[in-house]
Chains A and B, each alone.
Chain A
């Protein structure tokens, strides 16, 4: 483990950024220096030995699962469709609980046929949050450009405020926010207590927000630094998830990509947020103690 990890416990690596088996990705994240990881439902459900084996690997990895990014197209449905989606949500909450994760990311619905009126969306968000309470799970609602109606975090924030549930908050996607043409997105309006998760990634090209790099590697380096500093000033002390979908990185061995992610975390922690670095003597002492 890196000697710098003492300052970096709030940075998680998104498992989707790495190629290979679940065990290999967990090991790569751990070896790079991360103490936590963000998982997707497919990480468990597509495991060759089944979900139970996947859960055992996650629990045995020593990594904390900071978020389970899993639920899509939940809100706004009705009748049998809503009942079906409710069953999916319950199953995902149980998977989330199985890996001792306390945060489920709900991605805003992409379905054109789903209701988009505030009253319906608020009712469904409250229902999901209530389902999550006995499981000790928080719901982080994420706006994104592919959603049918909730494309900007300001819209998601309004719904979170209207729903007014203690375990319902916002998942803020930095790339979506920085690329959004919406001018109403003002980070200052957010209550840091209700900001549950921040997803960070950089871009290869300003015109293509999907081509992603780890923070600091791309064209939004300066904007991301300002973004993270602003959140810190607002009082945000929650987790940052480092993720991307990059074909290049998917074709490389996981350890090397995880190392790149860790360098991004160090850039954020040390250069941007200017956290203190352990003194050399302390590093040596720690190594002596742990070996």
Chain B
């Protein structure tokens, strides 16, 4: 008798093993994103409107931890020599990795610029490398074993330390503005150091499809994206004006999320080219620089 396979030939799993994209440092999502500003209260109000809760303060510095669901945002108002800008800037992304020290030293070997950290008593030393502009990229490990915030932060008494996410919001990615003809440079930077891969031009998310999208090598549950956007063709010289521009938040139901956030007072861009739809939405820019993009994404 001839055995008949019941598995679907379309899956291909019984014919060959096709590995996922390599994940050289065991990247497993974003631990936190940090803003730097001289106006932490004003930014805090913006975040609270977006559904974030202030859950903890840094032990020794003017640093605040806001959270909703699995999204951690840090507001850093601790000036180190140079005065902080009033307009908030995204100053750091912390990546969850398999082993922070290994990831850090691997990055240095490949040509990243290490950041000299100034650790005070009872504070964690989180290794970091320089990213775009003045931003940093931190490496955080053991995030499943204990929280890095337990060491450096003091919880706000009486506040739920795990506030639920508004309408299932989660990290989707970050939009990075880059200079003219810099797409290949930054693609190589994220590919070599972290294992990102670029998506084909026809694969786009949300309502702002410009530029190139890089996909992190994380497991699907923690996957996030970096979108690289060059200046418009008519803009000649912005080569030194590069930086992280806005955060993308994923939502399984963009319209429901927008409705809920609108009730909180969040306003969304409605213009000829950009308006709320099921694929995504964009909040109006506040404080001169802060906006969030809501992107349709079913988190695994």
Binding site for B on A (CB under 8 A): 90, 100, 102, 126-131, 133-134, 136, 165-167
- CB-CB < 8 A to A127: which residues of B? 109-111
- CB-CB < 8 A to A131: which residues of B? 111-113
CA of A131 to CA of B189, assembled, Å: 9
| B131 sits at the interface (CB 8 A) | yes
**Which chain B residues in 174-207 approach chain A with CB under 8 Å?**
179, 182, 184-189, 192-193
CA of A128 to CA of B113, assembled, Å: 11
| B240 sits at the interface (CB 8 A) | yes
Partner of A90, one of B113, B186, B189: B113
Q: A129-B111, A130-B110, A166-B184 are in contact. Are A136 and B239 (CB under 8 A)?
A: yes
Nearest CB of chain B from residue A113's CB, rounded to whole Å: 21
Q: A130-B110, A130-B111, A130-B112 are in contact. Are A166 and B188 (CB under 8 A)?
A: yes
Q: A165-B188, A166-B185, A167-B185 are in contact. Are A134 and B113 (CB under 8 A)?
A: yes
Other than A100-B240, A131-B112, A133-B186, give 9 A-B pairs with Cβ distance below 8 A: A126-B192, A127-B110, A128-B111, A130-B193, A131-B111, A134-B130, A134-B131, A136-B182, A167-B188
- CB-CB < 8 A to A165: which residues of B? 188
Nearest CB of chain A from residue B84's CB, rounded to whole Å: 21
| CB–CB A126/B189 < 8 A | no
CA of A134 to CA of B189, assembled, Å: 8
CA of A165 to CA of B189, assembled, Å: 10
> Who on chain B is nearest to A125 by CB?
B111
> Who on chain B is nearest to A129 by CB?
B111
Binding site for A on B (CB under 8 A): 109-113, 130-132, 179, 182, 184-189, 192-193, 239-240, 242
Nearest CB of chain B from residue A163's CB, rounded to whole Å: 11
Nearest CB of chain B from residue A123's CB, rounded to whole Å: 9
Nearest CB of chain A from residue B183's CB, rounded to whole Å: 9
- CB-CB < 8 A to B185: which residues of A? 133, 136, 166-167
Partner of B132, one of A128, A134, A166: A134
- CB-CB < 8 A to A134: which residues of B? 113, 130-132, 189
> Who on chain A is nearest to B133 by CB?
A134
| CB–CB A126/B110 < 8 A | yes
Nearest CB of chain B from residue A162's CB, rounded to whole Å: 15
CA of A128 to CA of B142, assembled, Å: 31
- CB-CB < 8 A to B179: which residues of A? 136
What are 8 of the A-B contact pairs (CB < 8 Å)?
A126-B110, A126-B111, A126-B192, A130-B188, A130-B189, A134-B131, A134-B189, A136-B179
- CB-CB < 8 A to A133: which residues of B? 111, 185-186, 188-189
A-B pairs, top 6 by smallest CB distance, nearest first, are A130-B111, A166-B184, A127-B111, A131-B111, A133-B185, A133-B189
CA of A100 to CA of B179, assembled, Å: 14
- CB-CB < 8 A to B187: which residues of A? 166
Q: A166-B184, A166-B185 are in contact. Are A130 and B192 (CB under 8 A)?
A: yes
Nearest CB of chain A from residue B131's CB, rounded to whole Å: 7
- CB-CB < 8 A to B242: which residues of A? 136
CA of A208 to CA of B132, assembled, Å: 46
> Who on chain B is nearest to A126 by CB?
B111
Q: Which of B111, B185, B242 has the most CB of A within 10 A?
A: B111
CA of A166 to CA of B186, assembled, Å: 9
- CB-CB < 8 A to A102: which residues of B? 239
- CB-CB < 8 A to B113: which residues of A? 90, 131, 134
- CB-CB < 8 A to A90: which residues of B? 113
CA of A100 to CA of B237, assembled, Å: 12
